[in-house]
A and B are shown apart, each in its own frame.
Chain A
């Protein structure tokens, strides 16, 4: 059993806490909605208790329980205020109830993990700490390493309740994202093709992306990555030349210590 006190990566789901480092993430970018300001919570300030459980019916499983300061509603990374979620760990709850959450993950066969996680609490408006609403998040994650083939998937949903005080966005809303990824490591050449679908819906936008990648493994922790992303903004009124509709070519060199 381990105890984390202070600031830690959000224990919700799998991508944010365990796939984010660039030598681990098989594509240069995070899936839509799983980066900062996305649908998946980023980090917490609080306490988490976690560890492995004794085998149940011959199967391994593990858990996380955590309590953390409440997130803030309505602050983007560029400080603009527009119905968005700030889930970077906060040093205060601003009078809101703390977030209480858990994750339980089961390993049905070697190389596989299925996790389910969630948290509830309250969220406070950035420009009006009297406006406190309900907050919840739930997540299902899956990974399966079959040797050459590796599969990863996750769905996350954060929900912000309504506010009677009408400070930013009285309606609140739902932020949800999904990704499905498959990759294949050749044994005779150090190449690894990757394909990933992701989509991200929030009260302002609906987007999706298909990313194709090809990695060259100089070693298991030194990886050259190329990717091509097909981005689509599902809102037909958004111009086809908008960044959210652009195709993007990326290259990245990643090293893990």
Chain B
């Protein structure tokens, strides 16, 4: 059991290092966001359209979905970029 705890801690550190290296803050990419969105966002539940939520609410929700859907930080920023850029002028006041 002690060994298992050690292994877990080691794995956590590995993943940690890995995600630090991956997060060299690339600009959000709406094209990649669209593809992640199409592959991911209808898998668990019905589609939630960009106009369903305000811009502010999307920022919270997308971080929530990052945890649920298991997205990387970059993928999360990309999907958010895609969703916000798809919001129509009509719901811009949100």
- Interface on A for B, CB 8 Å cutoff? 1-2, 4, 17-19, 21, 23-24, 49-54, 60-65, 67, 97, 100, 105, 107, 110-113, 120, 143, 145, 217, 220-221, 256
Q: How far is the CB of B40 from chain A (nearest CB, A)?
A: 8
Verify A220–B47 contact, CB threshold 8 A.
yes
Q: How far is the CB of A94 from chain B (nearest CB, A)?
A: 16
A30→B16 CA distance, assembly (Å) = 35
Point out the residues of chain A lying under 8 angstroms from B68, CB to CB: 17-18
Which residue of the partner chain, among B1, B43, B46, contacts A220 with CB atoms under 8 Å?
B46
- B91 at the binding interface (Cβ < 8 Å): no
- B31 at the binding interface (Cβ < 8 Å): no
Which residue of the partner chain, among B15, B43, B69, contacts A65 with CB atoms under 8 Å?
B15
Contact residue range for chain B? 20 to 34
Q: How far is the CB of A244 from chain B (nearest CB, A)?
A: 30
A13→B5 CA distance, assembly (Å) = 21
Q: How far is the CB of B4 from chain A (nearest CB, A)?
A: 5
Q: Which residue from chain B places its CB closest to the CB of A49 in the assembled complex?
A: B12
Verify A53–B72 contact, CB threshold 8 A.
yes
Which residue of the partner chain, among B1, B67, B70, contacts A97 with CB atoms under 8 Å?
B1
- Interface on B for A, CB 8 Å cutoff? 1, 4-5, 8, 11-12, 15-16, 18-19, 22, 36, 38-40, 42-49, 52, 66-73, 75
Point out the residues of chain B lying under 8 angstroms from A105, CB to CB: 70
Verify B70–A51 contact, CB threshold 8 A.
yes
Verify A100–B15 contact, CB threshold 8 A.
no
Verify A110–B70 contact, CB threshold 8 A.
no
Point out the residues of chain A lying under 8 angstroms from B8, CB to CB: 65, 67, 100
Point out the residues of chain B lying under 8 angstroms from A61, CB to CB: 70
Verify B44–A221 contact, CB threshold 8 A.
no
Point out the residues of chain A lying under 8 angstroms from B46, CB to CB: 23, 217, 220-221
Q: How far is the CB of B36 from chain A (nearest CB, A)?
A: 8
Q: Which residue from chain B places its CB closest to the CB of A122 in the assembled complex?
A: B1
Verify B19–A113 contact, CB threshold 8 A.
no
A54→B24 CA distance, assembly (Å) = 13
Point out the residues of chain A lying under 8 angstroms from B15, CB to CB: 1, 49, 51, 53, 63, 65
Verify A1–B19 contact, CB threshold 8 A.
yes
Q: Which residue from chain B places its CB closest to the CB of A107 in the assembled complex?
A: B39
Verify A24–B72 contact, CB threshold 8 A.
no
Verify A220–B48 contact, CB threshold 8 A.
yes
Verify A65–B12 contact, CB threshold 8 A.
yes
A17→B64 CA distance, assembly (Å) = 13
Q: How far is the CB of B10 from chain A (nearest CB, A)?
A: 11
Residue in B4, B19, B67, B72 with the greatest tally of chain A CB atoms within 10 Å: B67
